[in-house]
Each structure stands twice: as structure tokens, then as C-alpha cells.
Chains A and B, each alone.
Chain A
Amino acid sequence: MKNQELIPHLFRTEYRKITAVLGKTFGLEHIEIAQDIASDTFLLASEMWAMKGAPDNPVAWLYTVARNKTLDYLRRDKLFKEKISGKVVRDSQMSDEIDIDLSTQNITDSQLQMMFAICHPSLPVESQIGLALNVLCGFGIGEIASAFLTNKETINKRLYRAREKLRTEQVKMEFPAESDIEARLDAVLKTLYLLFNEGFYSAGKDVTLRKDVCIEAMWLTKMLLENPCTDRPPANALLALMCFHASRFEARTNPEGETVLYQDQDDSLWDAALISRGEYYLNRASVGRQLSRYHLEAAIGYWHTIKADTPEKWEHILQYYNELLILEYSPIAALNRTYALAKARSKPEAIREAEKLNLADNHLYHSLLGELYLGIDDVKALECFNTALALARSRADRRLLAEKIGRLG
């Protein structure tokens, strides 16, 4: 691997490890110092390796530099050292020198504990996602702002408040008690799910960035499966659903960066390797009695990877949407259920159900209704697409609708 690939690759895997271990060493209230040291380490790596080439063991090099930078920092900032040394001495039972434990075990534990801390119930969920991107994925403020379709100032404020909250709530980096683990893991899964969706469904134009967000969400979910206490069926189901969705990443955007709808995708572009990973995790999720929303969404995702467009396929999808809606209502699930109903049964039946949905202010609702009326009443279909166009805000949505209107007109 060349340097220009090696460093981004290592950044992806090692930044969060260094940040997590240092964050644990210093305490969560000093997380920014941990992040600065991790960033400085990579900065030095890119300078040094560009001149002298990469070392034989780049990861060990990074850890050594991170350790030295930490010790330098502590030497320079006596006050900080005094503040944290009580904690570190207590933890490591060393009296004079501070120990930076970069063992595999501590790295793994620290990352998971960091995830639990970031997904602490005292934080609003968009702050959790922001922190996860910043602290666990090493995304800069600019990248997070683009991913959220907002400006840097908003993200800076959001992260600042989130860090303050972690401080005032005195959130510690630790594993939740056994009795809390299910609820806390639920919160982690929800954040990772939303993080993935942020990348997958965002109206942002930067396709590479959106894909990176999805890949990061998958990395973090996979990390949960590597620890016996978080390797639970819903976490496996979540990773399965991410794999199924991600398998269509190449197919759902055309070379111009525009969205291609599911029914118009070239299915030879679906990633077979990711689909089979998804099946593997879905099998691992299919133990025990718990049927989470991730199980249902993974099952829906699985049926979407089946290429043959049969009523049987859509009947399965319909029934999983029924279950999903019974578990938890969401407008998007309601719309998707209605689409599945049209495919599994008939358009008139789906139109009758669609008219009960009460989603008149949602452009996707009118877009779906237009789709259902196509071939039955094209005048009505055109009317629906026009209403949808008037309500749609994202450029991608407006373009797709304009195309449909163009075809009818």
C-alpha cells in the first residue's frame, strides 16, 4: 500500500483507537486533548512517511508516537498532569509515571466504552451522531457539516454543548452495569442506525462522503459484534440490514451523482459479497426470541436483494412492513408498505390504503400516489406528481419528479 492510501486507511482504523485509549486515560472531560494528540500523531506520520517512507510496522509507529506525544504533553502541562494523575495513578497503580496502555484488550474495551459514553441517554440524538463522527470516526467539522447539510458553526456549537453535557453529567468511560446493558445497547444501536441512514439517505451531493459515513457506521457496528457482551441478535440484525442496503450503493447513484430509484437500478451492480455478508449476520441474528425493528428491516433488506420481481417477494416485504409498523410507526414505513401492497396485490387496493394515510404534507406521499395511479388514471398521476414537485425540497427529488412529469406530459 502506498502512503497516500496507507495513511487514510490507518486513520480510519487507528484514530479512534488512540482517541479512545487516551480518552480513557485522561477521562472523558479531556476528550479534546485526546483527539488533538491523535490528530497530531497522524500529521507527523504524513510528514515523516512522505520523506522517509512508511516504517515496517506503521501501527506500532503510530502508537509509539502517540505515547510519546502524550508524555510530552503531560511534561509540558504540569497542571493537567496533576489534574489527571490522581485518576491515572488510581487506575494503573503506578506512582510516578503515567502509563498509556495500548494493549489490544484495552484498545477494544476503550472503543466500546467510548461508544457507550457518546450514546449516553442525556445527549440529544443528533449530538450523539455528531460526536460519533467526530470522536470515533475522526471526521472534521466541515465534513460533519456537509453530512448534516448544515454549517460548521452549528456543528461546532452542537459538539461543544455535547462535550459540556458529558462533563456536567459526569459520564464515565465504562461498561454499563449488566442490568442496564440492554437499554444502553439499544441507544447505541439507534445512533449507529441513524448514522448509517444519515449517509445512505442524505440529500448531500458528496457521494464519497456519504459512503464513508455508511462504512464508518458499519465498522462501529461490527465492533459491537466482536465483544461477547454486545454481540447480541439486534446488533447482528442491524449490521445485516446495513450490508443489504450498502450492497446497492453503486447502483443507486448514476455517474452524474444522481439518485437511481430501486426499480430502475442495474442489479448487476449490486454487491454480491456484501449481500452474502448480510445473510451471514442475519443468520447470526436469528437466535433467541427477540424480534427487533432491525430484524424486520434486515428481512425487508434481504428481500430487496432478491432480483426476481415476483408477487411472492413483495408479499414477504409487505408482511415485514406490517410487523414493523405494528412495532413502531413511521411515515416512511407506511409509504413503503403501501408500495409493497401494490406490488404484492394490486394498485387499486394500494390506492385505497394510501388515501387513509394522512400524509398530505409529505412530497413522498404524493409521489407514491402518482406512481400508483400510473396506468390507471394518468391525469390523476400527473396531478399527484405536480403536487409532489411543489412540496419537494431536495434537488435530487425535484429532478426525479420533473422526469416523471416530463414522461407523462
Chain B
Amino acid sequence: MKDFMFVFRNDPSTLTDRSPEEMQASMQKWMDWIGGIAAQGKLVERGNRLNPAGKVVKPSQVVTDGPYIETKESVGGYTMVRAESLDEATEMAKGCPILLFGGNVEVREIDRM
């Protein structure tokens, strides 16, 4: 078994105009998806959400606001899972509810230091 990281990307501006009911429904979908992975004993770490507000530090001490200034897409969170192969991990990612909201999941094997 290898460990993989799911990196969730979405357009943060689409998250702000959701009703409490939509938020609740979305939360439930996330819980079902992660719960399903955990039920297979394949969840390594539930992970976290990232607050959209942020700074980017560039060479020569240049600091810009937020990672999403230049792109419509920003990293919204991450989760770590265990799978036999990149293909299996990718199969698991296909159930991620972010796909229903226009986001995407990047699947990367973790090379432990």
C-alpha cells in the first residue's frame, strides 16, 4: 500500500453564494465520500480545508495577496488516503463531491522523506 494526497482545487468565488441548505447538502456528500474511504480502512488523514485568504511570497521578497489572483482556481484543501496504486487512488477520487461543483482533484503519491 502507498499513501496518496488528494489536492482539492476549486474557484473560491463559487463557494460564497451558497445557501445554508446547499452547504449542508454539500457537507453531507463530503462526509459520505470520506466516510466511505474510511470504511475501507484507507483513510490516512482526514486533512483540512484551507481558508481562501492567503499570501504568496515570491523572489526578491515580493508578496502578493491570495494565490488565486492570477488563476480562477485555488487549493481548497487536502486529504490523505492509502491505495495499492495510483489507479486505485484515482478511482477513489472519482467519488469526490468537489467534481459536482466544478472543482477538481489532483492525485499524487507521497514520497516519504
Residues in chain A within 8 A of chain B (CB atoms): 318-319, 321-323, 325-326, 329, 331, 333-334, 337-338, 341, 353, 356-358
B38 within 8 A of A: yes
Pair B41/A358 contact, Cβ less than 8 Å? yes
Rank and list the top 9 A-B pairs by shortest CB-CB distance, nearest first: A322-B35, A325-B38, A334-B39, A329-B41, A322-B31, A326-B38, A326-B46, A337-B39, A325-B39
**B40 nearest in chain A by CB position:** A356
CB pair A334–B34 under 8 Å, yes or no, is no
Flag if B46 contacts A322 (CB, 8 Å). no
Number of interface residues of B (CB under 8 A): 12
The residues of B that contact A322 with a CB separation of less than 8 Å are 31-32, 34-35, 38
With a CB–CB cut-off of 8 A, which chain A residues contact B64? Answer: none
A326→B34 contact, CB < 8 A: yes
Asked if residues B28 and A338 are in contact (CB atoms below 8 Å), the reply is no
Flag whether B36 is at the interface (Cβ < 8 A).
yes
CB neighbours of B38 from chain A (8 A)? 322, 325-326, 329, 334
Q: 14 interchain pairs (CB within 8 A)?
A: A321-B35, A322-B31, A322-B32, A322-B35, A325-B39, A325-B43, A329-B38, A329-B39, A334-B40, A334-B41, A337-B35, A337-B39, A356-B36, A356-B40
Docked complex Cα distance between A321 and B35 (Å) = 8
Nearest-neighbour CB distance to chain A for B40, whole angstroms, equals 5
Tell me whether B40 and A357 are in contact (CB under 8 A).
yes
Q: Which residues of A contact B40 (CB under 8 A)?
A: 334, 356-358
Closest to A340 in B: B35
Q: What residues of B have a CB within 8 angstroms of the CB of A323 in the complex?
A: 31, 35
Is there an interface contact between A326 and B41, defined as CB atoms closer than 8 Å?
Answer: no
Asked if B31 contacts A357 (CB within 8 A), the reply is: no
Which residues on B are within 8 Å of A, measured CB to CB?
Answer: 28, 31-32, 34-36, 38-41, 43, 46
Determine which residue in A319, A322, A353 has the highest number of CB atoms from chain B within 10 A of its CB, and name it: A322
A357 contacts B28, CB within 8 Å?
A: no
A290 to chain B, nearest CB (A): 16
Q: Bound complex: CA of A341 vs CA of B28, how far in Å?
A: 12
Not counting A323-B31, A337-B35, A353-B36, a sample of 6 additional A-B residue pairs whose C-beta atoms are within 8 angstroms of each other reads: A319-B35, A322-B35, A329-B43, A334-B40, A334-B41, A357-B39
State in angstroms the CA–CA spacing of A322 and B34 once bound together: 8
- Nearest chain A residue, comparing its CB with the CB of B41: A329
Question: By CB atoms of chain A within 10 A, which of B36, B38, B39 has the most?
Answer: B39
- Nearest residue (CB) in A for B91 is A356
With A319-B28, A334-B41 known as contacts, the answer to whether A326 contacts B35 (CB < 8 A) is yes
Considering the chains assembled together, what is the distance between the CA atoms of A118 and B5 in angstroms?
Answer: 41
**A47 vs B34: C-alpha distance in the bound complex, in angstroms?**
62
Of chain B, the residue at the smallest CB distance from A325 is B38
Q: Could you tell me if A326 and B36 are in contact, using CB atoms closer than 8 angstroms?
A: no
Cα separation A329 to B31 with both chains bound (whole Å) = 15
Chain B residue at minimal CB-CB distance from A330: B41
- Most chain B beta-carbon neighbours within 10 Å: one of A318, A325, A337: A325
Least distance between B98 CB and chain A CB atoms (Å): 17
Contact, CB under 8 Å: B31 / A353? no
* Cβ contacts under 8 Å, A341 to chain B: 32
How far does the alpha carbon of A353 sit from the alpha carbon of B39 in the complex, in Å? Answer: 9
- Closest CB-CB distance, B48 to chain A, in whole Å? 13
Residues of A near B39 (CB, < 8 A) are: 325, 329, 333-334, 337-338, 353, 356-357
CA A326 to CA B34, docked complex, whole Å? 7
Q: How far is the CB of B107 from chain A (nearest CB, A)?
A: 17
- Report how far A322 CA is from B39 CA in the complex, Å: 8
Q: Which residue of B lies closest to A328 (CB)?
A: B38
Residues of A within 8 A of B35 (CB): 318-319, 321-323, 325-326, 337
Q: Let me know if B32 and A326 touch, CB within 8 A.
A: no
**Nearest-CB distance from A13 to chain B (Å)?**
42
With A353-B36, A356-B36 as known contacts, state yes or no: A319 contacts B41, CB within 8 Å.
no
